[in-house]
Structure 1
Amino acid sequence: MAYKSLLTVAASPNEVLGTVTAAARIALTMDAHLDALALGVDRTQVGYSYVGSGAVVIAAAMDRAENEARETEAALNAAIGAQTPALRSAVESLVTQLGALTDVVASRARYSDLVVLPLPYGKDRGVEDEALTEAALFEGMAPVLIIPPAGMRTPEPKRIILAWNQSREALVAARRAMPFLKRADSVQIVVVDPPTHGPERSDPGGLLCQYLVRHGVRAEVSILAKTLPRVSEVLARHIRDTDADLLVMGAYGHSRFREAILGGATRDMLEHSEIPVFLAH
């Protein structure tokens, strides 16, 4: 079991090398093809411009977006050129309006086994970076591997933390991450403050562990108390304590609006994670 078609998307030339390097190493390890998409994004809202200035605004915005697409494509080509010649890859560039970005990304992500993207939050990231991640996850229906600025230690993570809360999203993430899980030396199914009521109250994570073991995964269950205010903080501390290489988790168990306003484990982990995060919805 392996990923055979990988996709990475960039809307700016920033932090391209680390993401492409991680994607390329995974592609080489799993004998996969890597597609890279460079986007120039038109962020204007012509409806708010002065009367008669619409054409000028559109022309200037498109020129800027086309320049960004060329710069990003050049950065992607340079990053791919820095990899081994054995890598099978292709680079494409497009210009799109911000409102159409979701459809553009989703149309590519649907035919990819794994989408590799940079951390969507940070001082150098824009609104389009979060939109890229959500487009691949929701409309593209693809698992997404988020690469932090520090990069990815190994294309075959040896110590994996699988965050488990009995949700549909967490189960989908576990299934989609199987190529990584089967190659790992250890997979910890981490349950934080399990509920006292529910189908798994007597054996939290037990059925998932059984399922993974039957697939040849070296899995075990770890039950953690919620000793910090947020679940994400408990997970982050456990990741540091175990020196984990990868976190697997379900994405956005609540509505995206609620996650954005109130926060949530997904957003918290993406904002502060020091290791790659595998997401699926």
Structure 2
Amino acid sequence: MACKTLLTVVTEQGPDGPGMAGLETAIALARREDAHLDVLVLGVDQTQYGYFSAGAGIAMVQETLAQAISGAEDLERKVRQRLATEEIRWAVDHAVAQLGGIAPLVGHRARFVDLVVQARPYGAGRSSADEAVVEAAMFDGQAPVLVMPDGMVNPPAFDRVVVAWNQSPEAMVAIRRALPLLQRAAMVDITVVDPPAHGPERSDPGGMLSQWLSRHDVRAEVSVLARTLPKVSDVLARHIRDRDANLLVMGAYGHSRFREAIMGGATRSMLEKTPVPVLMAR
């Protein structure tokens, strides 16, 4: 992938947390792509305003803020020690924000990079801050995000790619962002699950996308799958294994984030189930 600048955000969850796993992946990818790596160490101020007893408010605010700053500074030192052993170009900075302030902070940093690399934001040891970082990079930074599954540190070759196609603008944005990578892949599978019977591509699902990609020297094939499992994400996960793919490209959050949070949604479900890295954009 033609990446010159990578970003990973490490949240203050300790040196063995998912943020550090994302850092290791970002280092490996920066080494492979000869890219510059920016690392933002993020301390999250957990102050809960409105829950203090009379007279305790200011002291509690100062204490939680001091803990966030101290934690971020300590984690930054660990990150710098880790990067000092690498022969890559890198820069590290730290910042402190409340949960509601993560979006503008991360969004501003993500705006000036080619790819954001993060560990899976859901599961054991994750927090709402991890999810907020991924959303901020996509929504506020308009950057593509590579989300790594648990237990995978070294990124695969990305030479066998499944592209989830549902005719949505979000899916097309993700595909455009992934185009340099698709041009290098040996296999690109445009996967359409249960296409609408009356949509604009009803006679040839994925055909126009395949034709457009071929003009960019991408050799793609189309797989039209029936929804034989309860969720689209289940069908995609099975197809990824069947095709021995090592990357999924997909659009993110077709519905509002509020509806996704209440109802789940394909984006979260896919991130929880996929056995391979996911390149998302919106």
Class of the TM-score when normalised by the shorter of the 2 chains = over 0.9
Which residue does the alignment assign to 2:270? 269
Give runs of aligned pairs for residues 1-281 of structure 1, distance below 5 A.
Answer: 2-12=2-12, 13=14, 14-81=17-84, 84-85=86-87, 87-151=88-152, 153-154=154-155, 156-281=157-282
Decide whether the 8 Å contact of 1:21 with 1:80 is kept in 2.
no
**Aligned partners of 1:276 and 1:81: how far apart in 2?**
27
| Residue aligned with 2:200, SS | coil
Relative to structure 1, the CA distance from residue 154 to residue 105 in structure 2 (aligned partners, 3 Å threshold; closer, same or farther) is: closer
Relative to structure 1, the CA distance from residue 58 to residue 130 in structure 2 (aligned partners, 3 Å threshold; closer, same or farther) is: same
Q: RMSD between aligned alpha carbons?
A: 1.6
Residue-by-residue CA offset, 1:94-115 (whole Å, 9 max, x unaligned): 1122221111101101111111
**Aligned partners of 1:90 and 1:213: how far apart in 2?**
38
**Aligned partners of 1:194 and 1:255: how far apart in 2?**
22
**Aligned partners of 2:208 and 2:79: how far apart in 1?**
42
Residue-by-residue CA offset, 1:30-75 (whole Å, 9 max, x unaligned): 3321100001110212222112211111111012101221233234
| Residue aligned with 2:63, SS | helix
Percent of matched pairs sharing the same residue: 54
- Report the TM-score when normalising by structure 2: 0.94
Structure 1 residue 28: Cα displacement: 2.9
| Residue aligned with 1:47, SS | coil
Structure 1 residue 210: Cα displacement: 1.2
> Which residue identity is paired with 1:159?
R
Which ranges in structure 1 are unaligned for 5 or more consecutive residues? none
Q: How many residues align?
A: 279
Q: Which stretch of structure 1 is more off in the superposition, 163-172 or 45-54?
A: 45-54
Q: Which stretch of structure 1 is more off in the superposition, 70-79 or 126-135?
A: 70-79
Relative to structure 1, the CA distance from residue 182 to residue 78 in structure 2 (aligned partners, 3 Å threshold; closer, same or farther) is: farther
- Report the TM-score when normalising by structure 1: 0.94
